[in-house]
Amino acid sequence: MTAVLTETDDFVAALRSHARRYHDSHPFHVAMNEGRLSQDQIRGWVANRFYYQENIPRKDAAILANCPDRAVRRQWLRRITDHDGTAEGEGGIEAWLRLGEAVGLTREEVEDGRHVVPGVRFAVDAYVTFARTRPWVEAVASSLTELFAPDLMAQRLTAFERRYTWIDGDGLAYFRARLRQAPRDSEHALAVVTTHCRTAEERAKAVAALSFKCDVLWAMMDAIDRAYGN
């Protein structure tokens, strides 16, 4: 992206244009949503994606640690409790473990990471490192892939309910919760980014951060596809 982003509308449009690079169009996701994946392929995806899920709160804690703005921190904190819960047996990570059980994986084999392939580990670790080491506003911008997540989540829910009837519906609670959480989180992140990135240079860095994150998600899917694809 080389355009000089002086107008806020252009900036938001440049961010939103990354929808074209979102991992919903990755062949593995396309096959998933068309109901073409086997039980083993679904299990491989669930086990590998757990590594992303369990690292999201660590990524968000890194943003909190770097962020001097009290109002932003107050809002951002909720992301951590959404994933970790406020008590044993609650939260998104627990919900993902239940998804694992619903597809036939034990909690132990999901939690110990034995199925995680190197490319997924590498991509997720890069995302956490990005949040630790880059200015906090860039890290917030990198979370904006979630602007594009609700459509994918809705498609996935329908696909799982209709095409993968062997999966117990209770296991899909994670995706139902994200349908509500992702729009709320991404709208907040977009407001933070548009407020704090005022110069063309700051805006270009935010766009680059989102581009980096599209690469993270795509690289994860490539690695999963390579390990479990047809």
Residues at the contact surface with ligand PQQ, assessed by CB under 6 A: 56, 143, 145-146, 149, 152, 178, 217
Nearer to ligand PQQ, 29 or 203 (CB): 29
Amino acid at 66: N
Rounded Cα distance between 215 and 28, Å, is 15
Q: State the nearest-atom distance from the C-beta of 96 to ligand PQQ, in Å.
A: 8
Q: State the nearest-atom distance from the C-beta of 116 to ligand PQQ, in Å.
A: 16
User: Tokens standing for 29?
Assistant: 């996701």
Q: State the nearest-atom distance from the C-beta of 203 to ligand PQQ, in Å.
A: 19
Nearer to ligand PQQ, 113 or 200 (CB): 113
First to last CA, the chain: 34
Nearer to ligand PQQ, 11 or 130 (CB): 130
Nearer to ligand PQQ, 200 or 215 (CB): 215
Q: How many CB atoms lie within 10 A of CB 81?
A: 14
Q: State the nearest-atom distance from the C-beta of 148 to ligand PQQ, in Å.
A: 6
Rounded Cα distance between 68 and 108, Å, is 38
Dmax over CA atoms of the chain, in Å, equals: 52
